[in-house]
Amino acid sequence: MITYRLGNDLDLDQVVELYRSCSLGARRPVDERERMGRMLRNANLVVTAWDGDLLVGIARSLTDFAYATYLSDLAVRETHQRLGIGKELMRITQREGGQARIVLLSAPAAATYYPQAGLTQHPSAWTLGPEDAIR
């Protein structure tokens, strides 16, 4: 049975190991422990999925609980994928965000996951990297 918890008071090593246990590990700074720690500490809506004591999923978001929730990382352990955990993590994130709309950037490997889960593609998403200059 999978249980779900709210909150970012988590063991950082367990969280990093979860990212490494699926393809998201290659797309997040898992070798920068201090940075991963900041990512976890400053996220204000974190939902986790547990199989007993084993961390099997995470939805890590930043939200104002009123207008927008940026779902930065959605990850499910490879051994536990396709059991509905990803969708449940998003359902709880949506519920906890109140009136906020969930916004996210899909990893290429999950590009077809979100439309079948009910999310709408937005044609005008824009990003600015930390080293990109405003011209």
Ligand X SMILES: CC(C)(COP(=O)(O)OP(=O)(O)OC[C@H]1O[C@@H](n2cnc3c(N)ncnc32)[C@H](O)[C@@H]1OP(=O)(O)O)[C@@H](O)C(=O)NCCC(=O)NCCS
Q: Cβ closer to ligand X: 68 or 107? A: 107
- Residue 123 backbone dihedrals phi, psi, to 5 degrees: -80, -10
Question: Residue 51 and residue 18: Cα distance in Å, rounded?
Answer: 12
Helix, strand, coil shares of the chain, percent, nearest 5, are 35, 25, 40
| Interaction between residue 59 and ligand X (CB under 6 A) | no
Single residue of 40, 55, 75, 100 touching ligand X by CB under 6 A: 75
Q: Cβ closer to ligand X: 86 or 97? A: 86
Listed ranges 5-13, 30-38, 60-68, 71-79: which one lies at the site for ligand X (CB under 6 A): 71-79
Task: Give one DSSP letter per residue of 14-75, joined into a string.
Answer: HHHHHHHTSGGGGGTTTT-HHHHHHHHHH-SEEEEEEETTEEEEEEEEEE-SSSEEEEEEEE
Count residues binding ligand X (CB under 6 A).
20
Listed ranges 2-10, 34-42, 77-85, 94-102: which one lies at the site for ligand X (CB under 6 A): 77-85
Single residue of 15, 36, 45, 74 touching ligand X by CB under 6 A: 74
Instruction: Say if CB 101 and CB 66 are below 8 A apart.
Output: no
| Interaction between residue 84 and ligand X (CB under 6 A) | yes
Single residue of 16, 18, 24, 43 touching ligand X by CB under 6 A: 24
Name the residue with the smallest CB distance to ligand X: 86
Query: Judging by beta carbons within 10 Å of its beta carbon (0-12, 13-18, 19+), is residue 23 exposed, middle or buried?
Result: middle
Binding site for ligand X (CB under 6 A): 22-24, 74-76, 81-87, 106-107, 109-110, 112-113, 116
